Amino acid sequence: MYLGIDLGTSEVKGLVIDENHDIVATHSAPLTIQRPHPHWSEQDPQAWWDATNYVIATLREKCAPHWNAIKAVGLSGQMHGAVLLDSNNAVIRPAILWNDTRSAAECMELEESASELHAIAGNLAMPGFTAPKLLWVRKHEPENFQRLQTVLLPKDYLRFKMTGKKIADMSDAAGTLWLDVARRDWSDYLLEKCGLARCNMPALVEGCDASATLDPQIAESWGLNASVVVAGGGGDNAVSAIGVGAVAPGDAFISLGTSGVLFVVNEAYRPAPQSAVHAFCHVLPNRWHQMSVMLSAASCLQWFCRLVGITEAELLEEVAQLSDEQRASAPQFLPYLSGERTPHNDPDAKGLFHGLTHSTNRALLGYAVIEGVSFGIADGLRVLQESGTHIEQCSLVGGGARSPYWAQLLADILNMPIVTHKGGETGGALGAARLACLATGQAVETVCKKPEIYHVYQATPARQGLLQQRYQAFNALYQNDLKLRNK
């Protein structure tokens, strides 16, 4: 059997598959985010490790007596987070997460000081990336920066706790702004611009290769053999791609998790930083991918449900009962609760409801939220297309994949087929388990098959005109808000 561990922002999920690549068991443990100041988003790495141990213990019970048949572990993780370790490998401060936007000023400084940034890293300097976070620490917490020995990404901190080895993979490392993405190696030039060097970085491996074996003490406490291999793993979206079989050029998917991602596989390195499109390494050798990323997606729906005291399933059921006429007159929502990346690169963007009346109810507001998130995905598709990337259809993964209504809305707004798969919400954890298979020498063609299709949602031509009008109004809302902020 093979174990996948997915360290997300809101939970740690574990998943076990057997030699036929069928899912045997899954379990998850929730995580919380700390926001001590505006623009800040942090987590305690120890909470990740505690949650991981809980998930392992639960899966061990679920899989008994076959638990010790696990041969390898794969890792998936939230990208860009900065875990700072001192010379004793102690965590110096809480991890600064991908959706932390405090380092906007440092992004501008990096853009000015590193003229080769776009050519080497293939991406704009954005507050979500790791490099600006370290510039912020150097400026605002110099005592912590002086203690710094190693910078690890979130899932690589879990690997360090599991194996004692400091190792990263190419896909996750590409999200730091320290990687030469075409060469798949650390850039001494970009590291030096942040006051760092290779000695502060983990070693690099491909995501599908073996990185280390379990530390004997950890193996014993988990009830596993110390020979269990830990795969290189990858950033959550690249690993989700493995979970949905997105391994060939042109394969694409949308992930509706805490963030919203439109991901497409490329046969070569194709940067498009001018549109805030991300260009990263895939978890497979000699493959790259592009992504458009919005910082708040399904988390917008979670936020709204908490405000009005209803479950997501109940709200989506209410939304589904709305008539076309009601949806046409619904308020509009800007989903920028944590700022935005693609295409605006605007950490100061804010969420907004527009067009409220006395007749506005929670179903109409709920519709506005999922429509606004879907329009954010449409923004990403537009700039990917403008960069020369062609996408024929998208798989849908993440928590949002559980909603048929949302899947149909995306098909209508994007004007393309949206495909859901059986088990699609387990994309990252399943992809991690598949990487564990690859790390033991199994073939990509055998392991990375596309999951069974659950449903294909086709665009509804009759809805195109109205949705296009609302999409144009959505974009005008953001532009008006931007003008007001810049006055």
pLDDT tens per residue, range 30-47: 999 999 999 999 999 999
Question: Which tokens belong to 433?
Answer: 């388990």
- Number of structural domains in the chain: 1
pTM: 0.88
Question: Which tokens belong to 115?
Answer: 């003229």
What sign results for the dihedral spanned by CA atoms 159, 161, 163, 165?
Answer: positive
Residues tagged in the binding site annotation for substrate: 79-80
Domain contains 218: yes
Give residue 153's identity as a one-letter amino acid code. Answer: L
CA distance from start to end of the chain: 59
Q: Quick check: 477 pLDDT over 90?
A: yes
3-state secondary structure of 339: strand
Question: Which tokens belong to 293?
Answer: 């990323």
286-296: buried (b, 16+ CB within 10 Å) or exposed (e) per residue?
Answer: ebbbbbbbbbb
Domain span holding position 120: 2-237
- Catalytic residue among 236, 251, 379, 481, which? 236
What sign results for the dihedral spanned by CA atoms 368, 370, 371, 374?
Answer: positive
Domain contains 357: no
- Nearest-10 Cα torsion for 405, 410, 413, 415: -120
State the average pLDDT over residues 347-375.
96
Greater pLDDT, 312 or 345: 312
> Average pLDDT over the chain, rounded to whole?
95
pLDDT bracket for residue 267 (50, 70, 90): confident
Residues tagged in the binding site annotation: 79-80
pLDDT bracket for residue 242 (50, 70, 90): very high
Domain contains 383: no
Total length of the chain = 487
Q: Quick check: 425 pLDDT over 70?
A: no
Residue labelled with tokens 């804010």: 350
Contacts of 198 (CB under 8 A, 6+ apart): 186, 188, 191
Cα separation, 245 vs 344, in Å, equals: 30
Domain contains 296: no
147-163 confidence digits (pLDDT tens): 999 999 999 999 999 99
Q: Quick check: 400 pLDDT over 80?
A: no
Domain contains 263: no
pLDDT bracket for residue 427 (50, 70, 90): confident
Q: Which strand (E) or helix (H) includes residue 77?
A: strand 72-77
72-124 confidence digits (pLDDT tens): 999 999 999 999 999 999 999 999 999 899 999 999 999 999 999 999 999 99
User: Does the annotation count 236 as an active-site position?
Assistant: yes
Cα separation, 473 vs 464, in Å, equals: 14
Q: Quick check: 404 pLDDT over 80?
A: yes
Domain contains 354: no
Tell me, what CATH number does 230's domain have? Answer: 3.30.420.40
